[in-house]
Amino acid sequence: MTGGPGGQRLPVERLTVLYDARCPLCLHLRQWLMKQRQLVPLDLVPAASEEARRRFPGLDHAGTLDEITVIGDRGQIYRGTSAWIVCLWALAEHRPRAHWLTTPAGRPFARATVLAAAKYRSLTAPPCGRDGDGGGACTVPGPAG
């Protein structure tokens, strides 16, 4: 939730999850998220895509390819561990776990899980470069125009 006029709390009504569409782990988690009962609707959009650029023109789109990014309908931006936790929070069966992951006892577990996923992703995602040949730096296509 985020603050509204006069200090009132406004509910998060929708979240957009930006995921790396080249990453097998990210694609698997996207499918898993789509199958879960959502208390807060999740829009799953490929990171750095034309759709992501259209929706969030001021966002660092190259950075969204480096780590999961979730954007709330009120402009909240969650990255890394916080992004994974807010995804779980949006799911009916996993909201209690998400609350636990924000506690001092749960936060290290959440961080370790995200680091393990990042390591797995680094071993399975195609290398950066033209056509995935690893011959160059990662590039993000510019806005259509």
Residue 114 has pLDDT above 90, yes or no: no
CB 40 within 8 A of CB 12: yes
Confidence of residue 132 (pLDDT cuts 50, 70, 90): very low
Beta bridge partners of 70: 17, 78
**Tens-place pLDDT, residues 51-84:** 999 999 999 999 998 888 999 999 999 998 999 9
Q: What is the pTM of this model?
A: 0.77
Lowest mean per-residue pLDDT among 1-5, 40-44, 125-129: 1-5
Q: Which residue has the higher pLDDT, 109 or 134?
A: 109
Alpha-carbon distance of 15 to 87, in angstroms, equals 8
Q: Could you tell me the pLDDT band of residue 141, with boundaries at 50, 70 and 90?
A: very low
SS3 sequence of 21-33: CCCHHHHHHHHHH
Q: How far apart are CA 6 and CA 56, in angstroms?
A: 27
Instruction: State the average pLDDT over residues 36-62.
Output: 96
Task: State the greatest distance between any 2 C-alpha atoms of the chain, in Å, as a whole number.
Answer: 54
135 pLDDT more than 50: no
Question: Does the pLDDT value for residue 94 go beyond 90?
Answer: yes
All structural domains of the chain with their residue ranges = 12-126
